[in-house]
Amino acid sequence: MFAYRHHFHAGNFADVFKHALLSQLILSLQRKDRPIVYVDTHAGIGHYDLTHPWAIKNKEFAQGAGRIFGSTEYPPEISPYLEILNSDNVGSYLLRYPGSPVIARHLLRQQDRLVLNEFNASDVRQLKLVSQDWPRTEVRSEDGFRLTKSVLPPKERRGLIFMDPSYDRPAEFERVASAIEMGLKKFATGVYAIWYPVMNESVTWELIQRVKRFGSKPVLRSEIYLPKVLFPGLMNACGLLIVNPPYQFESVVDVIGRWLLGRFDSSGDCRLLNQMID
Ligand SMILES: C[S@@+](CC[C@H](N)C(=O)[O-])C[C@H]1O[C@@H](n2cnc3c(N)ncnc32)[C@H](O)[C@@H]1O
């Protein structure tokens, strides 16, 4: 039984941060002509209607995508993501939000392939509808934490595994760590991006330590913190852990993160943590 529905959170600050970085990760892998695979272990439904009652309930998108939609001045690092957000909407009203599969689809080249996975039966039906005409796209419906076993290594030998669980059940951090361990055993050179809510330092640190233990790969820890008062009772900080990040990706995160912080909050009570873990 799945209680979590991403529609309540679509387009919030966490989505904006992760999707802006996701766009740049895909583009970095595409610097060479060789094909890549994009594997989305927890894909959601693709497009999110922001006029839907679930999106309207807390209007989380107002503090996220709503703060950047229609921007006219921004660094080039954010423009691929902003262009996708704009192309998902007509005119100056923010009515729809593109989820991770839609972002990947926009960036897909002729030689690339998408593997999208979603376990919620109703969500996967919507995802199949959204992606029915997409080329070189496979939609699966299995436990996303097992995907690193079932689809790796990819024939392309180059790719990004994006793991974006809902963290609404016990032991999900533990399951993420085990899934990445399996992934690194089968596909050691893959790029892995794991999204997580920042809860407390020890939970994050335990995840980092476990990921580091498997083959001591380079790991970039990128987190964004917004003032708690803006999000009463809700998450105010999140991160992306990137295993095998592209060369100097931390400087891309830096530019995107700082620009987003300026749009999300002008009080200064916010910060970016962006560090390679030795
Ligand atoms: C945070 S949302 C994903 C959002 C999506 N990645 C995006 O960025 O647009 C997490 C998704 O994981 C799905 N889910 C929950 N448990 C899962 C599991 N064990 N395997 C695969 N999907 C799962 C939920 O139904 C939900 O759609």
- Mutational test site, ligand 1, from 42, 140, 147, max ligand atoms within 8 Å of CB: 42
In tens, the pLDDT along 19-60 reads: 999 999 999 999 999 999 999 999 999 999 999 999 999 999
For residue 143 and ligand 1, the question of a CB distance below 6 A is answered with yes
Does pTM top 0.95 for this prediction?
yes
Is it the case that residue 249 has pLDDT exceeding 90?
yes
- Extents of the domains making up the chain: 6-277
CB 130 within 8 A of CB 158: no
| Ligand 1 atom 13 nearest Cα | 42
Is it the case that residue 268 has pLDDT exceeding 80?
no
Select 6-277's CATH number: 3.40.50.9100, 3.90.79.10, 3.40.50.150, 1.20.120.1200.
3.40.50.150
What integer pLDDT is reported at residue 214 of this predicted model?
A: 82
Q: What is the mean pLDDT of residues 212-232?
A: 90
**Residue 169: band (very low, low, confident or very high) from pLDDT cuts 50, 70, 90:** confident
* Token pair in block for residue 209: 């330590």
Q: What is the mean pLDDT of the chain?
A: 95
CA of 76 to the centre of ligand 1 (A): 29
Q: Which residues have C-beta within 8 Å of that of residue 80, sequence separation ≥ 6?
A: 23, 24, 27, 107
Is it the case that residue 232 has pLDDT exceeding 90?
no
Is it the case that residue 3 has pLDDT exceeding 90?
no
Closest C-alpha to 47, from 127, 115, 125, 139: 127
Closest C-alpha to 88, from 15, 178, 28, 192: 15
Amino acid type, 262: G
* Token pair in block for residue 89: 């909407």
In tens, the pLDDT along 90-143 reads: 989 999 999 999 999 999 999 999 999 999 999 999 999 999 999 999 999 999
Q: Which residues have C-beta within 8 Å of that of residue 277, sequence separation ≥ 6?
A: 208, 212, 218, 219, 220, 221
**Residue 1: band (very low, low, confident or very high) from pLDDT cuts 50, 70, 90:** low
CA of 73 to the centre of ligand 1 (A): 32
Catalytic residue among 40, 88, 112, 164: 164
Q: How far apart are CA 151 and CA 146, in angstroms?
A: 9
Pairing of strands 237-243, 219-225: antiparallel
Q: How far apart are CA 241 and CA 260, in angstroms?
A: 18
